[in-house]
Chains A and B, each alone.
Chain A
């Protein structure tokens, strides 16, 4: 029983940061139609910002998280302005750009911070608390903090998209770019906002996970793969779908990893995703692609 509850806790904590990665990716893909392979490297960059400011320069952890969001968001803006914008009508060009960015960011992290063991980022809140008096189940404080920040960011992001004019425009653009352009929206401006927000959220995801995971120049790989799976299962245009799929996928993966093993969990996770796509070729909450 304890094992089941502990696994539920493990999965819940993990799902929040996956959701954070996925919504950013959905936004970027929706508005710009660029498959951003460098999204995992944004996550990596966010983690390094926390290492640099919080672990090396003793800034408060929360300030470092905000700084990570801003810095990675700015990196996103620069990439959009210099690299993605000229490729607007050539999505494959955008893809190559993102691969180029991926290589460059990895090398920069490796030569700036060194390649060796993972960066030492002591948790701000060490230790764990038993869950509601269940001695066999522990909830680590730092994970709880990460979970809280992720949920707050997701709610904030959701409110922004649903309650503001700009958010409305972004959603409209993500669903139908041509129609949005016809409405007189500036695609370039929306793309900048999408890229800044998407990259910022990935940076935030990396920042909150930094004390919990291995901070290393090549950590983006497994994360981007998970994020791609999640946004496809959720349905590409759909932010709610991305969050739903993040939770479903993480729970599935965590339970199989606990009761069978991690590699089997990855294999079954991929097959499950194929199964979902066979039944619903546009994902759980996707609207289907325009032909």
Chain B
């Protein structure tokens, strides 16, 4: 008996010591700004744990790097003052109630001046609170925008609107392709994207012969691919799927001997997909995201400082934890910094005014327009050119920049129709 009690106590002691060590090493000084300097806090509200964490935690980490870079360069210059930046994060577990608690904590207790969010199902209640508080907030999903979300911006992603550019390019350059099969993940990323692809295919005169959703808990993609290939499509469209799903779907397409055209929203780490399949297999695939360490990302119209260096820094500090949206959070934070310096204030409504001034803003892929009234009822998404990217000789290559609003002006009604049908 005594022995048993001893074991248990010993275990507890070890656990407590380990816990203390962990706490000391990982929650210590690095994020806290120094001494008497002025500090401005930015909030990060998203899932840091759980299944959706891959879409937010890497972004939070990227923001920490961004904050360190800004602070190392002397902070943000507002008038005569220098502000140090501090990122305060709250894990909302992708739940609506936790999100609301986190929103109130960040705004009322931490007094942050901007809240970065992933967006999606966790957002509505929190964003409603931000609007009431006149707090500036951002999302990666413009489908979160409504006429009531006055100060909620989608400054980086205009998902899924830009997907039309890829289809349009394909129709012009490979007119012999006549049928398409779409598989999509069954969630708030997949649905609006399907509507967009359906509209784009219809505008291009391509028949959709298969269009089904798969559960986001899917672990085996063989059945999905088998069902699509049974229809013998010219084009397989992977819609907007989690990067891991794109990876596994491509592998299955390869294994089930598909040889036609593939179009996808993303193709993260395509080198790894090539390693699992072959260079010939992936050749000609169309998607929408250029390489972040691509030299072309250093061109002057790109509004992101030193993207190559940022990519390297990130991978050094958080090895093997980069994801599709990682760069979008610091891109937004940087956009906010420029606007704050321009406004001469960090107050949310001043920065908001500076951001929206003139109806144009510095999007990552070049200056763009604040747009969206016709689709979401509010001009809070930054929409402009978007690159069409193709795999050529195993390398992502920007084949053309196309204007999203041009497409909308021609085929907007189609998108409205399909959006209404998809619900």
Contact = CB atoms under 8 A, between A and B. Distances in A.
Interface stretch (A29-37, A122-130, A230-238, A274-282): A122-130
Contacts of B186: 262-263
The interface centre, meaning the residue of B51, B229, B247, B320 with most chain A CB atoms within 10 A of its CB, is B320
Contacts of B243: 117-118
B101 interface: no
Given A3-B230, A128-B257, A218-B53, A258 B322 contact: no
B28 interface: no
Given A115-B58, A118-B244, A262-B215, A107 B49 contact: yes
Contacts of B50: 218
A117 B219 contact: no
B323 A6 contact: no
The interface centre, meaning the residue of A116, A118, A221, A261 with most chain B CB atoms within 10 A of its CB, is A116
A113 B320 contact: yes
B301 interface: no
Interface in B12-42: none
Contacts of B319: 114
Interface in A100-144: 106-107, 110, 113-120, 122-123, 126-128, 135, 138, 140
A120 B270 CA distance: 11
A267 B250 CA distance: 27
B133 interface: no
A213 B276 CA distance: 12
Contact of B244 (A123, A128, A216): A216
Contacts of B3: none
Interface in A38-71: none
A110 B214 contact: no
Given A116-B321, A118-B247, A216-B244, A254 B8 contact: no
Interface residues of A, number: 46
A119 B217 contact: no
B53 A266 contact: no
A98 interface: no
Contact of B53 (A14, A115, A213, A263): A115
A86 interface: yes
B312 interface: no
Contacts of A14: 220, 222
A110 B53 contact: yes
Interface residues of B, number: 49
Nearest to B217: A222
B275 interface: yes
Nearest to A211: B276
Nearest to A218: B51
Contact of A261 (B8, B54, B214, B229): B214
A115 B318 CA distance: 9
B275 A214 contact: no
Contacts of B53: 110, 115, 217-218
Nearest to A213: B219
Contacts of A140: 255
Contacts of B214: 257, 261-263
Contact of B220 (A82, A117, A254, A261): A254
Given A117-B322, A262-B224, A266-B215, A221 B255 contact: no
B276 A126 contact: yes
A6 B226 contact: yes
A219 interface: yes
A131 to B, nearest CB: 11
Interface string A227-258: 00000000000000000000000000010011
A284 interface: no
A217 B54 CA distance: 10
A3 B11 CA distance: 55
A10 B223 contact: yes
A266 B57 CA distance: 29
Interface in B260-299: 268-269, 272, 275-277
A86 B8 contact: yes
B213 interface: yes
The interface centre, meaning the residue of A86, A140, A213, A261 with most chain B CB atoms within 10 A of its CB, is A261
Given A114-B321, A261-B213, A263-B186, A127 B219 contact: no
Contact of B57 (A2, A115, A123, A261): A115
A244 B316 CA distance: 48
A154 interface: no
B58 A116 contact: yes
B220 A138 contact: no
Nearest to A9: B222
A259 interface: yes
B219 A219 contact: yes
Interface of A: 2-3, 6-7, 10, 13-14, 82, 86, 106-107, 110, 113-120, 122-123, 126-128, 135, 138, 140, 213-214, 216-219, 221-223, 254, 257-259, 261-263, 265-266
22 contacts: A10-B220, A10-B222, A82-B8, A86-B4, A115-B321, A116-B318, A116-B326, A117-B244, A117-B269, A118-B247, A119-B320, A120-B272, A122-B272, A128-B255, A128-B256, A138-B255, A213-B220, A214-B248, A254-B220, A263-B186, A263-B214, A266-B217
Given A118-B243, A214-B248, 15 more contacts: A6-B222, A82-B11, A116-B323, A116-B326, A135-B257, A138-B255, A213-B248, A214-B247, A218-B51, A219-B219, A222-B219, A257-B214, A258-B227, A262-B218, A266-B215
